Amino acid sequence: MIELKNVSKEFVSPKKYPGFKGAIKGLFSNEKVRKVAVDDISFTIEKGEIVGYIGSNGAGKSTTIKMMTGILNPTEGTCLVDGIDPSKNRKENAQNIGVVFGQRTQLWWDLPLSESFTILKEIYDVSDEDYANQMEFLNRVLELDEFFDRPVRTLSLGQRMRADLGAALLHNPKVLYLDEPTIGLDLVVKDNIRHAIKEINEKYQTTVILTTHDIGDIEELCSRIIIIDEGKKIYDGTLEDLKDTYGKRRKVTMEVRKPDLLKELQLFQKIESVNDVQITENDYDSVLDVEGKTYTVSFDKHKMQVPQILSAVMELTEVTDIKLQETELAEIVKEIYNHGGV
């Protein structure tokens, strides 16, 4: 459905200098700054997939989306959406896609929502029958009829986002691009939007590409995720794989009576000697908080088990409470951003 081959995008802008003197210097200088927003990205997305496209702010997510929608032309490489090159046949491509930019609206600001839908019906050449069917469906999943006659500028953010999603889906596009569709929404609306996306994907086999900072969106919607950082693709695979690779660490926090006694503890040697396994320094990480009387160990769950740690600790001091944590996806993602790669 979507095929990106070695796509790069470079922005060139005049060089800015700091301060007032710099502003004047800027008037006369002709120096340019090159910034590579997207650097040699390739991937293929099949029909009906929901792909989470994630990365930190400024990683190049929106730029990639803009190239796939035909707003920006790639500096290098080719991009094909359903066999059409958006940079060459923008209008043809636009007929096949629906786009929601969470921070913008494509609706007519001063007019009732219903007017925007009428105009979109004509733009996309939707037949009366399709329009009626699609509106019925959209009303059911997005509940647009509550505010269908109100001017768009009077809608709340949640209503506007639902309206925008509805507008993007009116012509039943083959591909739906969602750029931060749940930004700034409360939990209930977020949930509604996610349900709607899921239902549309199931009903029409719509391919969905979603950029978000909300881990909940990814966990609920995406079967596959692509992570980019500083314009480069650093991960492409299923959510489960990612969790398997990075989610193997667990964290146990123990409240102990006499933390001083644990200062000398060499946990991995202790466990190695008892259990006959090879453990390296990298497999675990321990923090002793003497003041708060806690001892925290994060470890590879394939190498060590909680009872082993517990018994090693309990040989030295009494444990009053323990807490066990699985790694969350948010932490995995954070770790990937920080380390800049898989």
Partner 1 sequence: MKKLLRTYLPFVANEVKTQLAYRGAFYLWAFISLFSSFISYFLWMAIYGSSESGVIGNLTQNEMVVYIFMVYITSSLVSISVSTWVGYDVVEGRVAMNLIKPIDYRASLIAQAMGDMLYHLVVPSVFIWIGIEIYKVFVLGMPVISLPTLLLYICSVLMSFLLYVLFDFCFGMLAFFTTYIFGLRMAKSALLSFLTGQLIPISLFPEAAQRIFDCLPFSSMIYTPVMIYLGKYTGEELVWAMGRQFIWVILLYWLGSLIWKQVTKRLVVLGG
List residues binding partner 1 (CB under 8 A): 11, 13, 62, 66, 69-73, 90-92, 94-95, 97, 99, 101, 103-106, 108, 110-111, 115, 118-120, 122-125, 151
Are the beta carbons of 265 and 316 closer than 8 angstroms?
yes
Q: Which is nearer to partner 1, 13 or 282 (CB)?
A: 13
Separation CA 51–CA 268 (nearest Å)? 40
Smallest gap from residue 126 Cβ to partner 1 (A):
11
Q: To 5 degrees, how large is the angle CA 167–CA 199–CA 158?
A: 50
**Structure-block tokens of residue 307:** 């009872």
Query: Can you tell me whether residue 121 is helix, strand or coil?
Result: helix
Nearer to partner 1, 122 or 264 (CB): 122
Q: How far is the CB of 244 from partner 1 (least distance, A)?
A: 33
Minimum CB distance to partner 1 smaller for 67 or for 316: 67
- φ, ψ of residue 263 to 5 degrees: the values are -60, -35
Q: How distant, in Å, are the alpha carbons of 14, 126, 211, 247, 282 from that of 73?
A: 20, 28, 20, 38, 44
CB of 3 to partner 1, least distance (A): 20
* Integer Cα distance of 163 and 258 in angstroms: 59
Closer to partner 1 by Cβ: residue 24 or 123:
123
Choice between 121 and 224, CB closer to partner 1: 121
- Tell the smallest beta-carbon distance from residue 278 to partner 1 (Å): 48
Nearest one of 169, 190, 217 to 50, comparing CA atoms: 217
CB of 271 to partner 1, least distance (A): 49
